[in-house]
Amino acid sequence: MPTQPHAAPSARAQELPRQLGLFSAIAVLVGTTIGSGIFRSPAGIADKLPGPAPMLIVWSVGGLFALCGALTLAELAGALPKTGGMYAYIREGWGRLPAFLFGWAELLLVRAAALGAISITFAEYTFRGLGFDPATEPYATYARFLAASALALMATINIVGLRWGSMVQNVTAVAKYGGLVIIVLLAFAIGLPKTGGNFTPAVPPGSFSVSAFGLALVSVLWAFDGWADLSKVGGEVKDPRRNLPRGIVLGTLAVIAIYLLANVAYLSVLTIDEIRVARLVAADVAERLVGPIGVTLVSLTVMISTFGSINGSMLTGPRVFFALADDKLFFTKVASIHPRFQTPYVAVGLAAALGIGFVLLRSFEQLADIFVTASLVFYILGVSAIFPLRRRKDWDPSVRVPLYPLVPLLFIGATLFLLVNSIMDPGARLGTLAVLGVIAAGIPVYYMTVGRKANSA
């Protein structure tokens, strides 16, 4: 299938200065990925797969798929170190319409849902740390407003300058990773000797089915999501042909390692049935280990973690809106660069406004499901762009994905399985079809607006 012709990249996108080094690049990926998922998702995953072995296996499989995606993305990012990341790969590989649909989905579904889900978790752990139950009123309502306020603050920081956003990302990434390491060490040193671990029976009757595994894997991929976000600031990374591939792969490996260790740590302290009802599992583990002070310390860790993820999502996501507008596929005003701070301030403000709207109207579970379903479609398109791009004579990546084409095909096949599984499952079908319907609605919008202009040019 030949790609559609497209214009050369505009000069404006190159005006965003390259300020992120390798450590900051890794911090963007780690800090964006480790957010609410590892602290919030284990309960739902254990409910779908109520056995120690199925639970650990689904996390391992999710890590493998994320790594396959990251290895493929490393080649794409090294060859096309552009602002927008996945948007640029889809546009170069498949043309303007798929790229427009990616921006459309980011605008209406993905970015707002991600920001909303992460900020809600931040707010709920904040109230839990203060001794209030965020599941009861009036604290449930207060948590929504705190989440919205966090989004507004992070937008302001990222408008003021990339250096400020990068500094917040570096500090919070180190703090959240260190906090998880402490939880793991305490669980192994204190919890494991007391309980002997809650790893048997490994596969209790009824703890595994293909459908449940697929739905649990969606939740796991929500927790791993972020391995692609570094590419969105590809136009602002120093020495990108070297630092982008390294940052993507090293950051993804670091996340996989700490996630697997954290789940083993949870099972070292709590039974699988206790994890199933542990809405804030890390806090419950810490309380079991060191008492009420553990809840406070873990709540602080999760607050820092999710705060950093809000910042990371606000740092990376608006670059898609910026690239979309810079390619004349969206309102050109959104591609404006602040004359003083040199940041895409309109795009950042737009992302914040959408996130605040979602956080006030949807629950965490609704937001997470919307985000994952919409993201899966474009992960397939973005990763599969490697196939047409490799046929280009001018293709010159700084690294190449190992075991090509097996690695990208494994990721694409797994992602397609998740989409089909979500459509086939009665409990998830309606929501999945609704998200796909919103994406498909972008096709006539494209042909009535920017597509018509391009065809008449």
Q: What is the pLDDT of residues 404-419, one digit of tens each?
A: 999 999 999 888 887 8
Please say whether the beta carbons of 203 and 53 come within 8 A. Answer: yes
Whole-number Å distance between alpha carbons of 136 and 191: 30
Closest CA to 14 of 326, 229, 330: 326
Using the predicted structure, report yes or no on whether residue 267 has a pLDDT greater than 90: yes
CB count, 10 Å around CB of 40?
28
Instruction: From the options 1.10.540.10, 3.90.1150.10, 2.30.42.10, 1.20.1740.10, give the CATH code of 14-387+405-452.
Output: 1.20.1740.10
Cβ atoms of residues 215 and 425 within 8 Å: yes
Residue (of 354, 366, 262, 269) closest to 314 by Cα position = 354
Task: pLDDT band for 36, please (50, 70, 90 cuts).
Answer: low
- The pLDDT value recorded for residue 164 is 77
Ranked by mean pLDDT, the top range of 88-97, 205-214, 221-230, 295-304 is 88-97
Residues in Cβ contact with 360 at an 8 Å cutoff, skipping those fewer than 6 apart: 144, 148
Q: What is the pLDDT of residue 455?
A: 52
Task: Give residue for tokens 């300020």.
Answer: 19
pLDDT of residue 453: 60
Q: What are the pLDDT digits (tens) for 59-79?
A: 999 999 999 999 999 999 999
CB distance 289 to 187 below 8 Å: yes
pLDDT band with cut points at 50, 70 and 90 for residue 8 = very low
For residue 82, the model assigns a pLDDT of 85
- pLDDT tens digit sequence for 294-333: 878 887 887 887 788 788 888 887 888 888 888 888 888 8
pLDDT digits (tens, 9 = 90+) for 216-246: 888 888 788 888 888 888 888 899 999 999 9
Nearest to 217 by CA among 41, 79, 382: 41
Mean pLDDT of the chain: 85
Task: Write down the domain spans for the chain.
Answer: 14-387+405-452
Dig out the tokens for 351 from the structure: 């992302």
Of the listed ranges 107-111, 187-191, 194-198, the least confidently predicted one is 107-111
Cα distance between residue 422 and residue 416, in whole Å? 10
Q: Is the pLDDT of residue 56 over 50?
A: yes
What is this structure's pTM?
0.82
| N-to-C CA span, the chain | 23
Return the closest-CA partner of residue 324 out of 408, 445, 221, 238. 445
The whole-angstrom separation of Cα 241 and Cα 76 is: 10
pLDDT, residue 7, reads 39
Q: What angle do CA 67, 36, 113 make, to 5 degrees?
A: 90
Q: Are the C-beta atoms of residues 229 and 312 closer than 8 Å to each other?
A: yes
Asked if the model's pLDDT at residue 144 lies above 60, the reply is yes
Q: Rounded to whole angstroms, how far apart are CA atoms 87 and 345?
A: 19
13 and 234 in contact (C-beta within 8 Å)?
Answer: no
Residue that has been written with the tokens 């990925």 in this structure: 33
Q: How far is CA 266 from CA 104, 260, 271, 385, 420, in A?
A: 38, 10, 8, 38, 31
Task: Give the C-alpha separation, 182 to 176, whole Å.
Answer: 10
